[in-house]
Amino acid sequence: MAKSGDPAPVIAIDGPSASGKGTVAQEVARSLGFHYLDSGALYRLVAVAAVRQNVALADEKRLAALAGGLACEFCGDQIRLDGQSVTDAVRSEQAASGASEVAALPQVRRALLERQRAFRRVPGLVADGRDMGSVVFPDAVLKIFLTASPEERANRRYKQLMEKGLRVNLINILRDIEQRDARDIGRPVAPLQVGADAMVVDTTNLTVAEAVARILESYAARQSRQAPSR
């Protein structure tokens, strides 16, 4: 149990694209009554804003200024930018690919740092991304690396997009996922990595409910270890 004056506890959930982080993290947050940060959405918003304002995805200085000044709001599943709904644009594959490019730029990452930390509020936060445990919340009480095989992740993304009525090709999705993984793992700043203090949860053969249960069990175990003994 956190003592009064302690910062709100953070559960950091990092992992590759389409590993189910978002669904699992939101469910963990809901179960605990915690706030939720989808940090990928911030990088996606920078990419969406850049396209709208004709800023090249390699123009680090202007992108960092865009990132620092993003006028965005999160309301449940809905995302607004400059007062307009951009939910579908942010969730598009185009935004995902642009996000992966802008996320490799150190000045953009720096510009988003404090904005991400501002999501930390009582009673606690579940934060999902790539560097939640390593950079943004290094003092997180629980660090999870959520993953699944590239084929399973491609299948899940394929099903999601088909359900939305989009015509997509599984081979192309797998290729995109592998390219994005390579970029996220290979970049010099805040690369996607399994931290020494992170617990790996491989969801290739797990349901969402099973993955959530594992994380909640680990959190409860940590809490009971931290509880003062009488």
Binder among 120, 143, 156, 180 for ligand DC (CB under 6 A): 180
Q: Which residues touch 77 (CB under 8 Å, ≥6 apart)?
A: 87
CB of 3 to ligand DC, least distance (A): 29
Binder among 29, 66, 96, 125 for ligand DC (CB under 6 A): 96
Amino acid (1-letter code) at residue 74: F
79-87, 99-107, 141-149, 162-170 -> range binding ligand DC (CB under 6 A): 99-107
Q: What is the DSSP letter of 34?
A: -
CB of 43 to ligand DC, least distance (A): 4
Residue 20 within binding range of ligand DC, rule CB under 6 A:
no
CB of 69 to ligand DC, least distance (A): 19
The site for ligand DC, by CB under 6 A, has a size of 14
Residue 134 within binding range of ligand DC, rule CB under 6 A:
no
| Cβ closest to ligand DC, residue 9 vs residue 101 | 101
Residue 157 within binding range of ligand DC, rule CB under 6 A:
no
Cα-Cα end-to-end distance for the chain: 14
4-12, 36-44, 78-86, 194-202 -> range binding ligand DC (CB under 6 A): 36-44
Q: What is the DSSP letter of 96?
A: H
| Cβ closest to ligand DC, residue 117 vs residue 223 | 117
Asked if residue 17 lies in contact with residue 153, where contact means CB atoms within 8 angstroms, the answer is yes
CB of 209 to ligand DC, least distance (A): 21
**Strand-by-strand arrangement of the 142-147 sheet:** 35-38, 125-129, 10-14, 142-147, 199-202
CB of 207 to ligand DC, least distance (A): 20
Residue 64 within binding range of ligand DC, rule CB under 6 A:
no
Asked if residue 104 lies in contact with residue 183, where contact means CB atoms within 8 angstroms, the answer is yes
160 sits in the region (left: phi over 0; alpha: psi -120 to 50; else beta) called alpha
Point out the residue whose Cβ comes nearest to ligand DC. 40
Q: Dihedral of the CA atoms 14, 16, 20, 26 (nearest 10)? A: 30
What CA–CA distance (Å, rounded) separates 191 from 166? Answer: 31
Output the 3-class SS for 147-172.
Answer: ECCHHHHHHHHHHHHHHCCCCCCHHH
Binder among 12, 34, 100, 173 for ligand DC (CB under 6 A): 100
Binder among 10, 24, 43, 64 for ligand DC (CB under 6 A): 43
Residue tagged 């970049």 (tokens): 187
List residues near ligand DC by CB under 6 A.
17, 39-40, 43-44, 96, 99-100, 103, 129-131, 180, 184
